[in-house]
Protein backbone atom coordinates (compact mmCIF):
# COMPACT_ATOMS: atom_id res chain seq x y z
CA UNK A 1 0.00 0.00 0.00
CA UNK A 2 1.31 3.47 -0.85
CA UNK A 3 0.05 7.01 -0.42
CA UNK A 4 0.18 9.53 -3.20
CA UNK A 5 -0.67 13.20 -3.59
CA UNK A 6 -4.12 14.02 -4.90
CA UNK A 7 -2.70 16.24 -7.63
CA UNK A 8 -0.19 15.02 -10.21
CA UNK A 9 2.85 17.04 -11.20
CA UNK A 10 2.70 19.26 -14.32
CA UNK A 11 4.18 16.38 -16.33
CA UNK A 12 1.21 14.17 -15.47
CA UNK A 13 3.23 11.94 -13.15
CA UNK A 14 2.34 11.74 -9.48
CA UNK A 15 5.13 12.71 -7.07
CA UNK A 16 7.16 10.26 -5.00
CA UNK A 17 4.69 7.95 -3.20
CA UNK A 18 4.97 7.87 0.58
CA UNK A 19 4.82 4.83 2.79
CA UNK A 20 2.59 6.49 5.38
CA UNK A 21 -0.59 8.60 5.06
CA UNK A 22 -0.49 12.38 4.99
CA UNK A 23 -3.01 15.17 4.71
CA UNK A 24 -4.94 14.89 1.45
CA UNK A 25 -3.26 11.66 0.37
CA UNK A 26 -4.84 8.94 -1.76
CA UNK A 27 -4.32 5.29 -0.89
CA UNK A 28 -3.27 2.88 -3.60
CA UNK A 29 -3.49 -0.84 -3.07
CA UNK A 30 -0.45 -3.05 -3.63
CA UNK A 31 -1.80 -3.98 -7.03
CA UNK A 32 -2.33 -0.35 -7.98
CA UNK A 33 1.12 0.47 -6.62
CA UNK A 34 2.67 -2.07 -8.99
CA UNK A 35 1.13 -0.20 -11.92
CA UNK A 36 2.21 3.10 -10.41
CA UNK A 37 5.87 2.07 -10.29
CA UNK A 38 5.75 0.30 -13.64
CA UNK A 39 4.77 3.61 -15.25
CA UNK A 40 7.01 5.85 -13.12
CA UNK A 41 4.00 7.49 -11.54
CA UNK A 42 2.31 8.29 -14.86
CA UNK A 43 -1.18 7.08 -14.02
CA UNK A 44 -4.69 8.44 -14.22
CA UNK A 45 -6.57 8.28 -10.95
CA UNK A 46 -10.36 8.21 -10.87
CA UNK A 47 -12.33 8.40 -7.66
CA UNK A 48 -14.95 5.68 -7.23
CA UNK A 49 -17.46 4.81 -4.54
CA UNK A 50 -15.01 2.21 -3.17
CA UNK A 51 -11.86 4.32 -3.35
CA UNK A 52 -9.98 5.01 -6.57
CA UNK A 53 -9.30 3.24 -9.83
CA UNK A 54 -6.06 3.71 -11.72
CA UNK A 55 -4.95 3.23 -15.29
CA UNK A 56 -1.66 4.02 -17.01
CA UNK A 57 -1.22 7.44 -18.55
CA UNK A 58 0.60 5.88 -21.45
CA UNK A 59 0.78 8.98 -23.64
CA UNK A 60 2.43 11.11 -20.99
CA UNK A 61 4.70 8.24 -19.96
CA UNK A 62 5.89 7.64 -23.49
CA UNK A 63 6.52 11.36 -23.95
CA UNK A 64 8.55 11.46 -20.75
CA UNK A 65 10.58 8.40 -21.74
CA UNK A 66 11.30 9.92 -25.13
CA UNK A 67 12.69 13.02 -23.42
CA UNK A 68 14.69 11.05 -20.84
CA UNK A 69 16.14 7.95 -22.53
CA UNK A 70 19.02 7.54 -20.06
CA UNK A 71 17.26 8.50 -16.86
CA UNK A 72 17.33 4.95 -15.45
CA UNK A 73 21.05 4.19 -15.62
CA UNK A 74 22.06 2.11 -12.64
CA UNK A 75 25.13 3.55 -10.92
CA UNK A 76 28.24 1.31 -10.93
CA UNK A 77 28.50 -1.37 -8.24
CA UNK A 78 32.21 -0.73 -7.65
CA UNK A 79 31.60 0.64 -4.15
CA UNK A 80 29.86 -2.56 -3.03
CA UNK A 81 32.62 -4.80 -4.42
CA UNK A 82 35.28 -2.82 -2.52
CA UNK A 83 33.36 -3.23 0.70
CA UNK A 84 33.06 -6.99 0.13
CA UNK A 85 36.82 -7.31 -0.32
CA UNK A 86 37.51 -5.20 2.73
CA UNK A 87 35.07 -7.27 4.71
CA UNK A 88 36.74 -10.52 3.60
CA UNK A 89 40.19 -9.20 4.51
CA UNK A 90 38.96 -8.06 7.90
CA UNK A 91 37.36 -11.42 8.61
CA UNK A 92 40.54 -13.25 7.58
CA UNK A 93 42.50 -11.15 10.01
CA UNK A 94 40.05 -11.76 12.82
CA UNK A 95 39.98 -15.51 12.18
CA UNK A 96 43.77 -15.70 12.22
CA UNK A 97 43.99 -14.37 15.77
Partner 1 sequence: MQDRVPVNPGRVLVTPENGGAAYYATLTRADNPTQEGTPLNKDSLLKDATAALFGLGANAVPDDALSAIKTLIDGANANANAKAKIATGSYTGTGTYGKSNPNSLTFGFVPKFVAFSSTRYTVHGYLLNPGTRAYLSGNATGGDQTVTWNNKTVSWYSSDAQAQLNFTNTEYYYIAIG
Strands 26-28 and 43-48: what pairing? unpaired
Under the criterion CB under 8 A, does residue 30 sit at the interface with partner 1? no
Under the criterion CB under 8 A, does residue 44 sit at the interface with partner 1? no
Residue 16's contacts (CB-CB under 8 Å, 6 or more residues apart) are 41
Q: How far apart are CA 48 and CA 79, in angstroms?
A: 47
Q: Which of 46, 48, 71, 96 binds partner 1 (CB under 8 A)?
A: 71
24 versus 93: smaller Cβ distance to partner 1: 24
Under the criterion CB under 8 A, does residue 25 sit at the interface with partner 1? yes
Q: How far apart are CA 82 and CA 24, in angstroms?
A: 44
Residues that bind partner 1 (CB under 8 A): 2, 5, 9-11, 13-20, 22-25, 36-37, 40-41, 64, 71-72, 75-76
Amino acid sequence: MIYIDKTPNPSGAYPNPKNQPFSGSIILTDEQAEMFFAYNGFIIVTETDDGVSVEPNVEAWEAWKAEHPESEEEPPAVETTVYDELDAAYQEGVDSV
